[in-house]
Structure 1
């Protein structure tokens, strides 16, 4: 892996290179939405991060606390991208605990057996468009 020689890198570029987000625009949206924090504070897209900085990244149900180990502005394979950061043990334990809680609660959610048939779709359509009459 060819880590970048400078000591600072834009946070959106690093998140993309570390494979937290598929595109830089998705990384930008997450940062602007407050889903990325540096030291407990919201960051701006252009904020520069360095080695040793602690980030909190929220993606869907998961929230990760990571420490930046290396900087790279090039997107590489997943094993190389995982070498750019280290997740804290507390973060790993918290994610596993919340995943287990979601798994246990998943059995209690009443979900339909499959796609609605023609009759059910008509009922849904009528229900959604009652006020349009």
Structure 2
């Protein structure tokens, strides 16, 4: 394990992201880099970009942005307790549940919505529905 974790040197961005378990697979980490979802010190990077201790990495993965600062260089995938010591997590907390907009959901197999159902869905979505023909 001594050669897996170190304070000095560099490692590929996709390998580090995968090693500290920010993504499930290395190919997901590489795909995120190629798609522009990974930023190192504010700049978009390719999968082979060299990451060193002290770099700030922003990863947008699985619908959420993670902000971490590299504290140790990891060359191979490590267990969760060791991975937690390899970075400082500066990710902002997720927004509270009550601020999430309500979504109109209909039961499967109930057919097309009636005019009344449609108006109720528009009211929930904040699309108005108070025009000249609304009741």
TM-score calculated relative to the size of structure 2:
0.71
Superposed counterparts of 1:70-85, under 5 Å: 70-85=72-87
- Secondary structure at 2:104's aligned position in 1? coil
Q: What stretches of structure 1 of length at least 5 have no aligned partner? A: 124-133
**CA offset at residue 9 of structure 1?**
0.3
Residue of structure 2 equivalent to 1:104: 98
Deviation per CA, 1:102-130: give whole Å up to 9, x if none.
x22446211234xx24x75xx7xxxxxxx
Cα 1:110/1:18, change in 2 over 3 Å: same
Residue of structure 1 equivalent to 2:60: 58
Residue of structure 2 equivalent to 1:67: 69
After TM superposition, where is structure 1 displaced by more than 3 Å over at least 4 residues in a row? none
Cα 1:60/1:6, change in 2 over 3 Å: same
| C-alpha distance in structure 2 between counterparts of 1:41 and 1:14, whole Å | 17
